Amino acid sequence: MNRLMVKHVRDTDNPTSHDGMVRIPGGSFAMGSDRFYPEEGPVRQVRIDGFLIDETPVTNRQFAAFVAATGYVTVAEQAPDPADYPGMLPDMARAGSLVFHKTPTPVDTRDPSQWWSFVFGACWRHPLGPDSDLDALDLWEHPVVQVSHADAQAYADWAGKALPTEAEWEYAARGGADGLDYAWGEELAPQGAMLANYWQGLFPFANQCLDGWERTSPVRAFPANGHGLYDMIGNTWEWTADWWTDRHRPARKAKPTACCTIDNPRGGNVRGSLDPAQPDIPIGRKVLKGGSHLCAENYCQRYRPAARHPEMIDSATSHIGFRCVVRET
């Protein structure tokens, strides 16, 4: 079976409900940043229609209800097809996913293989590998991880919702505070306050855990933003609906006197999202937002609303989750 195929779920299982969602009124904001990484620019004025968004990332408990109702099998629970991955060793054609392992000593941070391992048997039920368990680790109220983009989309379809666009996600994450570096202001840890689950210390070998968590944390463990949304920053990266582009498209004026605001922008296309460093693997990449518990000052300062990252749609890892939206128009 092709791991990129979405298993359709039965409409009769659809539990459409707006419980646990927050209404974000339509409005305008400055999207992006010119102060950190080049892919976040240029800053441009964007207008977003109103929508509802999940108050928290989808939890393991919520995802388990979806699987129980539909019998859905995630990408990580299916053996990869060697035809989709040229050069894959035969003994790697087994179900599994990527798990982070802290290194014992400093390593070259340009080489993610130092801390990521493909673990056979790792999946949403066993996020750290076959010997890990949601009950034993008390993870039921943590964000579900080890979910690919197809898995997130399947859940959204079942729930009668959608994945947010990058612009919707960033607008909600800013919590009504426009133009700030962080969702809560201009300092990462104002007066030492830990306002999100991220890596404190030198990545990937020395996590001081000043926030109290080595890996994921329960949803609502940190303060909500100005819209009442939890975990928009840190904890887990979150899938969006948009294909990756290396830089945002600048606003174009229809007329010299026209306003430069972009209405409800979308990302690129699947072809443009492909990783040029891996031309033999033509798998599209979607935009991730929000950073995760692995973002650190010395490695990945992406615990910010404007931050963005490309991820192949078949990827399932121990630091990627999602939340959903319902659009009003």
pLDDT at residue 258 greater than cutoff 50: no
Angle at which helix 149-158 crosses helix 60-70, to 10 degrees, equals 70
Angle made by CA atoms 140, 142, 143, in degrees to the nearest 5: 115
Residue 153 is inside which H or E element, if any? helix 149-158
User: Does residue 176 carry a pLDDT above 70?
Assistant: yes
pLDDT of residue 164 exceeding 80? yes
What percentage of the chain reaches a pLDDT higher than 70?
92
Instruction: Quote the tokens at residue 240.
Output: 């969006």
Given a cut of 70, whether residue 51 has pLDDT beyond it is: yes
- Choose between 179 and 256: higher pLDDT: 179
Mean pLDDT, rounded, of the chain: 92
With a CB cutoff of 8 Å and minimum separation 6, the contacts of 52 are 18, 21, 22, 23, 24, 325, 326, 327, 328
Per-residue pLDDT reduced to its tens digit, 4-48: 444 434 444 556 679 999 999 999 999 999 999 999 999 999 999
The pLDDT assigned to 9 comes to: 44
Q: Determine the Cα–Cα distance for residues 121 and 128; give it in Å rounded to an integer.
A: 9
**Rounded mean pLDDT, 221-247:** 97
Domain 1-183+195-329 has CATH 3.90.1580.10: yes
- Quote the strand ranges of 244-312, DSSP E: 262-263, 285-289, 308-312
Name the token pair of 278.
């891996």
Q: Is the pTM of this model over 0.95?
A: no
pLDDT at 84: 85
Q: Which helix (H) or strand (E) holds 96?
A: strand 96-100
Q: What is the DSSP string of 187-239?
A: -SSGGG---SB---EETTTEE--TTS-SS---TTSS---TTS--SSSBSSEEE
Residue from 206, 160, 202, 193 nearest 327 by CA: 160
